[in-house]
Amino acid sequence: MTVSRYFALIPAAGVGARLGAAMPKQYVRIADRAMLSHVLSVFACDEQIAHVFVVVGRDDEYIDTVLKEIGDAGTRLTVLRVGAETRHHSVLNGLAAIREHVDDEDWILVHDAARPGIDAGLIGKLIDAVHDDATGGLLALPVVDTLKREGADGRAVETVSRERLWAAQTPQMFRYALLRRALVQAGSVTDEASAVEALGLKPLLVEGSARNFKVTLPHDVALAELYLKGLA
């Protein structure tokens, strides 16, 4: 019987315009290292992960510095210069590039480069919950805030029930063949689970952590630094 392996695929070709930094946000320095360096180190040092693939733009000028930062762990990492304008197409290009290295039933863990709060415990929790699932799954958090729908004038027009609502995180973990088929057939999607759902399947929700948030706006950098330094 073939034993499925676990591979990490990190799309890191975005520019992060909302952060307003002088460089793509995945390279902004947090806790004395590039944000992407934190992410890649966690996956490359995790013995459950067979190999790590990071997708960057063809003309990326920063990734070599990150590889120096992660040191020997970089031997378990391959840079794929096949990034596209959207996350959807960067992941698809990455999946095509690793085709010869993975089997259809191997698990692919897709993780945002801008979620530096990921740790080995969260990766292990996801793998433990999903490894024998027929569909796959993702880390997510139950929504606890009251949700408001905005009208055209910037005023609240409706309170939306938060019952059974979850905020998606990453990694999102699906078998190679299923994930690639879902993304090929999907229109533009913002995460892999959306593409799988479009096939009529139901990914498993695995509770993540507040520390695994996505760095998007300038004030997020300071919060991420607190988590990474163990101060929050």
Query: What is the residue range of 62's domain?
Result: 6-132+170-202+213-228
> Is 145 among the domain residues?
no
Residue 14: the pLDDT is: 79
Domain count, the chain: 1
pLDDT in tens, 62-114: 999 999 999 898 899 999 999 999 999 999 999 999 999 999 999 999 999 99
Within-domain flag for 83: yes
Phi then psi for residue 16, to 5 deg, are 60, 50
* 26 within some domain: yes
Please give the pLDDT value at position 171. Answer: 98
pLDDT at 28: 93
pTM of the model: 0.94
The CATH number of the domain where 37 resides is what? 3.90.550.10
Pairing outcome for strands 107-110 and 6-11: parallel
**Left, alpha or beta for 208 (phi > 0: left; psi -120 to 50: alpha)?**
beta
Per the domain annotation, does 56 fall within a domain?
yes
Assign 107 to helix, strand or coil: strand
Is-contact 140 168, C-beta < 8 A? yes
Residue 154 lies in a domain: no
Closest Cα to residue 4, out of 135, 129, 172, 175? 175
Residues of the chain under the 70 pLDDT cut:
1-2, 16-22
Report the interhelical angle of 87-97 vs 176-185 (nearest 10°). Answer: 140
Domain membership of residue 142 (yes or no) is: no
Does any domain span residue 208?
A: no
Residue 146 lies in a domain: no
Non-local CB neighbours of 21 within 8 Å, separated by 6+ positions:
28
Residue-level pLDDT at 188? 85
Instruction: Please give the pLDDT value at position 20.
Output: 57
Residue 148 token pair: 């408001």
The pLDDT score that the predictor gives to residue 3 is 86
